[in-house]
Amino acid sequence: MGKCNLDHSVEDVQQKFNSQSQWLPEDICSLFHEFLVRNPSQTTLNEMFHLLKKYDLVDEQERKERDRKIKWLILNKEDTKA
C-alpha cells in the first residue's frame, strides 16, 4: 500500500467499510462498529481506511494479511484519542 497524506474522517472510514463489507469476513463486520465508537486516533483511522481501500480487488494472500491487520486495529483498545 502506498503512503497517503490525507486524513480520513470517521465518516470516510464508515463509507469505505460499507462499500467493502460484502467481501469482509463476518467476524470483522460484526466488530467494526465497536472500532468506530471507541473514537480511534487519526493515525488509526487512516490505517483502517487504507486497509479497506480496494479490499475487493486484492488476492487471497493480501486479504488474509489485511484481515489480520484490521482485526488488530479493531481489538487494540489502547489507541484512542484522549
Q: Is the pLDDT of residue 82 over 90?
A: no
Give buried/exposed letters for 56-80 (b at 16+ CB in 10 A, else e): eeeeeeebeebbeebeebbeeeeee
| pTM, entire model | 0.86
pLDDT at residue 3, rounded to an integer: 59
Q: List Cβ neighbours of 50 (8 Å cut-off, separation of 6 or more).
A: 1, 4
Over residues 24-36, the mean pLDDT reads 94
